[in-house]
Amino acid sequence: MATLNVRQGPPIGTALVVVNKDPPPIVRLQGLERPVSSLAENVQKVMGAFYDVHKTLIARKGLHKGTIERFKEAKHLFRTECESLRQVLQSGYRHAVDFTSSCQRAPNDRHISAKRCQLSGKSVLRDLQEVNRVYDRDLQSFRTQEKDLKDQLTEKNKKGGQSRSSTLDSQQQQTPKDAHPELTVTTLFSALEDVRSSLWDILAFWENHAAFLTLIVNRQSNFPSPGDETKATVEIWIKYQAALLQASSSIAQSADAMTIDPAIVQTNGKTRRRNTYPQARADGGKLPLNDRRSYPAGADKANRSDEGLYSWWKKICRFFSHSK
């Protein structure tokens, strides 16, 4: 099994990750901006995938109610974890601001804020470790539903179970997911694994960063040297700040969107048009267009109109005869 050794690289906010494998060792540079941005994108994908699976489930007839309820519980758990993750990213942003300010201090004053940076950095690290632990646990638990979800959707599809979709949806051309609804489940778990990978990358960076801060406090390492080195460090950590803020906002929006359940318009049987006027002409176009008898259900209306006109004329004649 591979072991992961992390050590601080050049003090510009970039972690040097060394993965020992035989043979040969793999060395890769890992910063914070890319995994944080990827995390926000992957959370958005998970949000959309949860919606698609939920919509597919409630659109299938004959599914056990417990299946949907267990799925909704897992969806709620992920939304709760998104909120916890958003708070951790905000804490990371505050630490990034503090660390950037410390780097810009005069060399003789930097050690004053080093301890504070170390404490806040370790606090973020502990929160990230907890988020990763809870996420791995809940994902492993949710994995037990994957096969059941696929089997039920596949079984219903083979039986030709009609979906209770809206008339508009039924008129649209089917997508691969419509023909194979179990694909929505595959997409969901793939997106969940992508989130997991992003969390691991962020955790690896922060473990390395916290170790570097400890070295500074113990006077075994230093902040970036004044000049170009400090300038480069400040620039990259300002990018980290922007990435953390943007990811926090994006994840908050995704979490809010997950509170919305898909709505399915149910229709009983085929939709039928009302017998409204006008429809096809019953006379084949022989009578004038202004003659209502030429349309279905128009003759009765025309007769009622003629009877009313005759009654009105009769009353007028009776009035003049009495006036004489």
The one-digit pLDDT tens for each residue of the chain (324 residues) are: 333 444 344 444 544 333 333 433 333 346 999 999 999 999 999 999 999 999 888 887 777 778 889 999 999 999 999 999 999 999 999 999 999 998 888 777 777 778 889 999 999 999 999 999 999 999 999 999 988 888 878 765 555 444 444 433 444 444 545 556 778 999 999 999 999 999 999 999 999 999 999 998 888 888 788 788 888 999 999 999 999 999 999 999 999 998 888 876 555 544 333 433 334 444 444 444 444 444 444 444 445 555 555 565 566 666 556 555
Count Cβ atoms below 10 Å from residue 84 Cβ, excluding itself: 14
CA distance 94 to 123: 11
Task: Answer yes or no: are the C-beta atoms of 54 and 264 closer than 8 Å.
Answer: no
Tell me the whole-structure pTM to 2 decimals. Answer: 0.68
Dump the DSSP string for 39-77: HHHHHHHHHHHHHHHHHHHHTBTT--HHHHHHHHHHHHH
